[in-house]
Every structure is written in C-alpha cells, then in structure tokens.
Amino acid sequence: MENRKVTIADVAKRAKVSPASVSRYLNGVEGNLSPDTADRIRQAIDEMGYQPNAWARSLKTRRSGLLAVVAADLSNSYVPSVLDGIDSAANDAGYSLIIGNAKNDQSREAMLLERLHQQRIEGLVLQSTAEHSSGPLRSLMESGIPIMLIDRSVDGQSDLDLVALDNRGAISMALGHLRAQGFSQIIYVTDPPDMASSRRERELAVMASRSSWAAVRVVVRRDATPAALVEAIGDLLTDSERTAVLCSNAVATLYALDAIQAGGWAVPGELGLMMVDNPDWAPYVLGGITSVAQPTHDLGRQAAMRLLHRIRHPAIPPMEMRLPGQLIVRKSTQ
C-alpha cells in the first residue's frame, strides 16, 4: 500500500468519519469514540498504511518529540557510552535523539546549536567545546529550551544544570590508592586543560594534593611530543622511589602506553600505571590497568531524565550533580 501521501483526511473519508475523530483515535482522547467508529478507523489506517505526520502535529502542538545531544568529540570513547545512557532514557519517554558532533570546534558547535534551535528541539544535552556560552547557546537559553550540561561546565557557575564526574573525588581516590600501594612519585598525564573544565578540575586536584603529599613531580600535557613523556619517566626512574603514571583519561592512557612501550619499562614492576576512565580494554592491557571508572552510562541516563523532568517543570532551579567514580584495582598498580 503506497502511503506516500496518506493523510488523516484520507483515512477519515475511508472510515466515513471526520478528520477530528481520526485525530481523537490517534491520540486516545478521553471523550471516547464509539467502539464501532474506532474499529472502522483502525481498519482504514491499516488498509492504507497511514503514518501520522510528525511535523504537522508538532506545528500544532508545539512539541517536537526531539531531544539533541551535542558532543565535543564523538571519537572519544566517553561519548558513546554516555550517549547510550541518554538514548535509553529518551527512548523510554518516547523522544527521538538528534546527535551533533562538534569535533572540538567551537564554531562548528555554534552552527549545530543554531540548526537545532530551528529544529525546535525540546531539550539539549551539551558537552561543550567552549568555555563560554556562544550566541546560539544563549539564544537557546532565552527561548526557554532546557539545557543539561554534561562533563564540563560553561561560564563557570552558570544558571544551567550540570551532570559530571566528581573530579576532585576521583583524583583523590586515585592518589589515595597509589599512596597506599607505596608509590612515592607520580607523573600525571593529561590533555591540555583549556576548553574543558573537567580536565582543569582534575589537574587542579592533582596539584592541590601536593600540599598534603609532595609526591606529584611532573605533569605532562599530551600536546608535548611523545618523547617528552619517555624522557620524563626516564628521569624520575633514576631515583630509588617507586613511581607511577596517572592518566587523566583513556585517550591519555593510550599515549602513556606508547611511551611505556618505547621505554621498555615493566608494569607494575618498574612503573605503576592507572587512569581515570574504565574503557573495555582496561582489564586486558598489561594484565589489567587500575582505573577510576566513570559512571558514564548512568551519567547519560541521569542527565536525560533530569532534562525530561525539566521539560515538564521548567521552573525548577538548576543544579549541579556530581557522580562518584569507582576505584577498580588491577595488576598495574600492585
């Protein structure tokens, strides 16, 4: 049955009722239909392969059933996992999900946000590429479209909701574990912290620990050459102290693994290793890499649920939600 242009009117004609009744049937309205008409309508719909047109409906009801996620970088394994959580909550509520990939480019992010605004999304989950709100983001806010920030904040303490890892807690958990394992020197490997509050928070927490425990010697940025990390590790290993590398996330860990392979150091014999994040390969590399797992799936789910709640109750004040990491001890620090 060719349903290219089957409209509610066609169905109505076929069922010998008014378009209004078909609409009522479709929406299961209270003021019920007689069983007879309902039947005829159902039948007509089946026979004609009718599919309601969501645009027309949206135009009238001002609800699109569309949520959007704009991620900083799709190729970071953090994102798909969070996305999975968002998707499941969104779908349970009958929403579809539009996805945007900013590719770590602020102007691209801005363009995406503008497009989504025109698409009349009902809510947005944003892992922002920018420190400060762009024009399109503000425009979205002014239109009263609920926005949930994840992973990273925007404009510091803003008036937007935020769901993110408790970065300070995660770092202190990691450092605590390393200290307990007898490591007395730490090399912290991180991405350049600009543009991502989460990175900055982690790095700050690492630095702050120096006051209570003067063990952190080096912070290496991933924008340095790989050789720089090899050298940094090599330098510290001349000491007699036990040394560990702590990585700010999974991608930074791959970078560190490269250096460790190049340097030929034994883990955990000569060098400890752990990371924030718990990718699926963590148990299998070097016999298992100790991790502070982020509750990524749950984080996405929470964000989406909160967003959906806010869509229904716009008045509730924004809040910051910090999810705890979970220490998973493996061979690389034992």
Partner DNA sequence: CTGAAAGCGCTAACAT
Partner DNA sequence: ATGTTAGCGCTTTCAG
Using rule CB under 8 A, residue 254 touches a second copy: yes
Distance, in Å, from the CA atom of 124 to the CA atom of 137, rounded to the nearest integer, reads: 10
Using rule CB under 8 A, residue 2 touches a second copy: yes
Tokens coding 260: 């460790």
Q: Which span (86-94, 176-184, 189-197, 237-245) binds a second copy, by CB under 8 A?
A: 86-94
Task: Provide long-range contacts, Cβ within 8 A and 24+ apart, for 155-162.
Answer: 155/131, 158/133, 158/318, 159/318, 160/318, 161/303, 161/306, 161/307, 161/310, 161/318, 161/319, 161/320, 161/321, 162/318, 162/319, 162/320, 162/321
Using rule CB under 8 A, residue 139 touches a second copy: yes
- Near a second copy by CB under 8 A: residue from 38, 74, 224, 237: 74
- Near DNA by CB under 7 A: residue from 3, 43, 56, 176: 56
Q: Which span (60-68, 157-165, 191-199, 200-208) binds a second copy, by CB under 8 A?
A: 60-68
Contact pattern for a second copy over residues 283 through 302, marking x by CB under 8 A: xxx-x---------------
Cβ atoms of 172 and 200 within 8 Å: the answer is no
Using rule CB under 8 A, residue 53 touches a second copy: yes
Q: Could you tell me the CA-to-CA distances from 279 to 87, 165, 317 in Å, in that order?
A: 19, 15, 34
Using rule CB under 7 A, residue 65 touches DNA: no
- Near a second copy by CB under 8 A: residue from 18, 38, 80, 179: 80
Residue partners of 233: CB distance under 8 A and separation at least 6:
187, 243, 245, 259, 260, 263, 265, 271
Q: Which does 115 bind (CB under 5 to 8 A by kind): DNA, a second copy, none?
A: a second copy
- Near DNA by CB under 7 A: residue from 13, 19, 166, 169: 19
Name which of 326, 72, 289 is nearest 191 in CA terms: 72
Distance, in Å, from the CA atom of 286 to the CA atom of 268, rounded to the nearest integer, reads: 9
Using rule CB under 7 A, residue 32 touches DNA: yes
Distance, in Å, from the CA atom of 194 to the CA atom of 200, rounded to the nearest integer, reads: 7
Name which of 256, 178, 255, 240 is nearest 215 in CA terms: 178
Task: Please say which residue, 13 or 217, places its beta carbon nearer to DNA.
Answer: 13
Task: Please say which residue, 213 or 284, places its beta carbon nearer to a second copy.
Answer: 284
Using rule CB under 8 A, residue 75 touches a second copy: yes
Buried b (16+ CB within 10 A) or exposed e, 195-226: bbbbbbbbbebbeebeeeeebbbbbbbbeeee
Using rule CB under 7 A, residue 20 touches DNA: yes
Q: Which span (10-18, 122-130, 164-172, 203-211) binds DNA, by CB under 7 A?
A: 10-18
Residues forming contacts to DNA in the complex (CB under 7 A) are 5, 7-9, 16-21, 23-24, 26-27, 31-34, 36-38, 50, 52-53, 56-57, 59-61
Residues forming contacts to a second copy in the complex (CB under 8 A) are 1-4, 49, 51-56, 58-59, 64-66, 74-75, 77, 79-81, 83-84, 87-88, 91, 96-101, 103, 112, 114-120, 139, 142-144, 251, 254, 257-258, 261, 279-281, 283-285, 287
